[in-house]
A and B are shown apart, each in its own frame.
Chain A
Amino acid sequence: MLETTWFVLWGILWAFYFMLDGFDLGIGSLLPFIAKNESDKRTIYKSIGPFWDGNEVWLITAGGVTFAAFPATYAVMFSSLYTPLMIILFALILRGAALELRGKTTSPAGRSLWDFCFVIGSFLPALLFGVAFANIFKGIPIDGDGILQGNLLTLLNPYGILGGLLFLSLFLVHGSLWLAAKSEDEVYLRAGSTVHALWPILIVIAVLFLIYTAFQTSVYENYLSSPVLFIIPALCVCALFLIRIYAGQKSYWKAWFASCIAIVCATLFGVVGIYPNLFPSSLDAKYSMTIYNSASSPLSLKIMLVVALIFVPIVIIYQGWAYTLFKGKVKEEEGGEGEVY
């Protein structure tokens, strides 16, 4: 029971991470397409400036919880995915540095270099997290010692790539909705039209992914044995259509919330499907890392549960407060001398 509780929390933490960091990763990937001049760029950077770092802590927490609740899974997951994780890590390092240091760099060449780091550093994690998770849903070729029998190219199989594209397109839509909600004038118009251009592509990829999942993975088995779970993908599909409806009405905040639900449900769709596995092996089911063969002791899980039940709601309250503190459209004059950006 304790293991299952932590499995659910584990899935929710990753889903929350993708929901929150998703929009700033999406915005970063879109920078060259939406920003036409320095003022547009400043608007884009400012739209996520106060939020991105707090969002990224959800990744650290998701990683930390994997370590704490399922140490053996953490060990196998992080070492077998060594190369893709290192690429994600370097991307996030350059991106974080760009976000924080660009505003303190005065030369245009220096700023362009930071822009490059920001774009690449946003695009690669968006894509690679999708590739990694799709491969996890499908099963990773790990042997009994938790060693990957393959390389980076093994992960770049068609299903993995489709998963990468799904995450990328979800994040791009998520990001453009955020930007539309936070900006005015030209940037607002361009962000809005990006949503309209990307949405059909997202739908096609999502449908392909749902179908391909049936052929490539055993994710649907859990759904067939407890059909009530179909509510998760159903919610995801509804949310995807709500995005289109609200975006059509230019209610970008509502569309953004719909997009949050879509991302959470898309992540949970796969996570629920692999239960009780956390990191299934595609070579042999007995090599899979499951909640039973990788969980921490009941005492550790209980202590962590107490900490999580007390602190996660507190975190949500103050992070929510910080989001409302910086609500409203980004203003050019704000953040002048002595401030960031």
Chain B
Amino acid sequence: MDTLLLSRLQFAVATYFHFLFVPLTLGLSILIAIMETAFVRTKNVEYQTMAKFWGKLFLINFAVGVVTGITLEFQFGTNWARYSRYVGDIFGPLLAIEATVAFFLESTFIAVWAFGWKRLSPKAHAISIWLVAFASSLSAVWILIANSWMQHPVGYVIKDGKPVLNDFMAAITQPYAILTILHTLAASYIVAGFFVMGISAYHLLKKQFVSLFTKSFRIALIFSLIFSIFVVVEGHMHGSDLADKQPAKLAALESHWETGPIAPVFIVAVPDEKNARNSIEIGIIPGALSMMAFHSLNATVIGLRDIPKDERPPVTATFVSFRLMVTLGMLFILLTVVGWFLRKKIDSQRLYLKVMLYAIPLPYIACAFGWTVTEMGRQPWLVYGLMKTADGVSPVAASQVAVSLVAFTLVYLVLGIVAFLLMAKHARKGPQLAPDISSVERR
């Protein structure tokens, strides 16, 4: 294997793994902040116990997110040096701003929050977790602005063969970035909502800490319901934005080969990339793609055949990931809407609780598919229309990357298992109640 393929694999390992922890950090910080605010407002200690319980899981998750985050910044230089040199004028400042405005805030106040239970007033303590929640979402905003610039570069001029910034505001406020940010944040909040619902379901099924987990479940349910609907509506807008900006990606999403009006969507399709067609097409919905992309039946949607062969993304991977992501997204709406109707007597809905327990991994999987769509769909470009992935890799020996790739895989595997076991252990154990309450609670 060559340096390029190894570097791509390494980036994939590092990024997918990192993004197992990021969405929970983004969403759970907000849920904990809501719980602590409820404690400050109602003085009901149960909310504090709740915040401490979820906080423990949050900290384990946060730790792995932090340590695997450094890799991502290092990797641009170590493995993608030619890319870094090429885009540094625009991409570099976005990363540096992320660190300066968000990482410091996040890391400082997470420590203040974790160690400050006795040193701060309840109000100040709640503010510190709100700051963590704000800072982590803010860091997502900046990194996604940077990612969006790779998808749809704006605000630059080419000077000496390189893109040079000429309009900072254009780069940071472009609609592509706003759509990506909203989509990723909403998806992350769903991950956290399902995580809280699933673990609450575990305890409700065991009939322990019923009051605390019923409350947790309800908070997470409302949160998930809102963002499940939001992410689909917003995702649709994001998709039609692609029609203008990344036609090749849009065509790959639906495995759409022939340019033309009344572009269809097939309920089942099997892409045949070699012959530039679908080998199986079942259940045609005429005009559905034109409708979704341009809100008009007669709109022409560019097909993959009209995109040069060496500029087509891997169709099967993009198409399948997109389909699965969308299916999961619809399922989240279904599950949360059902939950909404059952919310009054949630602790007695055993079947629903069981489903929700096993649904914990689903939003994680949806996120991974989402990133596959975004990043695979951008190929073969590293910076859309400007630089191909093959031209961005570092001039380092394949053996160096092979060794680091193996090391990353092993270390991350162990780290992943340890984090999972620790979280499972603390999740099962349940909250630590004051002795007088626990005797009543633990039935």
Measured CB to CB, the residues of A under 8 A from B are 49-51, 53-54, 56-57, 59-61, 63-72, 74-79, 82-83, 85-86, 89-90, 92-94, 96-97, 99-101, 104-105, 145-147, 296-297, 299-300, 303-304, 307-308, 311-312, 315, 318-319, 322, 325-326, 334-335, 337-340
Contact status A96-B400, CB under 8 Å: no
* CA A63 to CA B96, docked complex, whole Å: 8
A sample of 9 inter-chain contacts (CB < 8 A) reads: A50-B111, A59-B70, A67-B95, A75-B81, A82-B400, A93-B70, A96-B66, A299-B168, A322-B109
- Kindly list chain A residues whose C-beta atoms are within 8 Å of the C-beta of B119: 325-326
Chain A residues positioned under 8 Å from B164 (CB to CB)? 297, 299-300
Cβ–Cβ contact A89 & B104, under 8 A: no
Q: Which of B57-65, B269-277, B363-371 contacts A (4 or more CB under 8 A)?
A: B57-65
Q: Chain A's nearest CB lies how many Å from the CB of B57?
A: 10
Shortest Cβ distance from residue A141 to the other chain B in the assembled complex, whole angstroms: 14
Contact: A339 with B114, CB < 8 Å?
Answer: yes
* Contact status B117-A74, CB under 8 Å: no
B73 within 8 A of A: yes
Residue contact B415 to A93, C-beta cutoff 8 Å: yes
The interface residues of chain B lying within 8 Å CB-to-CB of A68 are: 88, 92-93, 95-97
- Decide: B73 and A338 in contact? CB cutoff 8 A: no
B68, B89, B114: the one within 8 Å of A297 (CB): B89
Residues of chain A within 8 A (CB-CB) of B79 are: 79
7 tightest A-B contacts by CB? A71-B88, A78-B77, A100-B63, A68-B92, A79-B81, A96-B67, A68-B96
Cβ 8 A contact of B67, one of A86, A93, A334, A335: A93
Using CB atoms, name the residue of chain A closest to B157.
Answer: A297
Contact B66 A53 (CB under 8 A): yes
- Whether B71 pairs with A93 at a CB distance below 8 angstroms is yes
Q: Is A90 touching B411 in the complex (CB atoms < 8 A)?
A: yes
Q: Which residues of A contact B97 (CB under 8 A)?
A: 68, 304, 307
Q: Is B111 within 8 A of A49, CB to CB?
A: yes
User: For the side of the interface on B, what is the size category?
Assistant: 35 or more
When the two chains form their complex, are residues B90 and A300 in contact, meaning their CB atoms are under 8 A apart? yes
Give Cα A303 to B167, complex, Å: 11
- Is A296 a contact of B89 with CB atoms below 8 Å? yes
Contacts of A326 in B (CB 8 A): 115-116, 119
CB neighbours of A53 from chain B (8 A): 66, 107, 110-111
A51, A93, A101: residue with the most chain B Cβ atoms closer than 10 Å: A93
- The answer, yes or no, to whether B347 is at the interface (CB within 8 Å) is no
**B118 contact set on A, CB distance < 8 A:** 334
User: Are the C-beta atoms of A296 and B411 separated by less than 8 Å?
Assistant: no
Give Cα A68 to B422, complex, Å. Answer: 38
**Known contacts A49-B111, A307-B96, then 18 further A-B pairs from the complex at CB < 8 Å, ordered by chain A residue:** A61-B100, A68-B97, A75-B88, A78-B74, A78-B77, A79-B396, A82-B78, A85-B74, A93-B71, A97-B63, A100-B67, A299-B165, A300-B89, A307-B93, A315-B104, A322-B108, A338-B432, A339-B114
In the bound complex, what is the Cα–Cα distance between A319 and B115 (angstroms)? 14
Min Cβ gap A34→B in Å is 21
Complex CA distance for A50 and B115, rounded to whole angstroms: 7
**Chain A residues closer than 8 Å to B395, beta-carbon distance:** 79, 145-147
Per the bound structure, the CA–CA distance linking A94 and B408 in Å amounts to 11
Give, as a whole number of angstroms, the nearest-CB distance from A25 to chain B.
14
Q: Is B99 an interface residue (CB 8 A)?
A: yes
Q: Does B85 contact A (CB under 8 A)?
A: yes
In the bound complex, CA of A308 to CA of B101 (Å): 9
Which of A60, A93, A296 lies in contact with B103, CB distance below 8 A? A60
B98 touches A325 (CB 8 A): no
Which residues of the partner chain A approach B407 to less than 8 Å between Cβ atoms? 86, 90
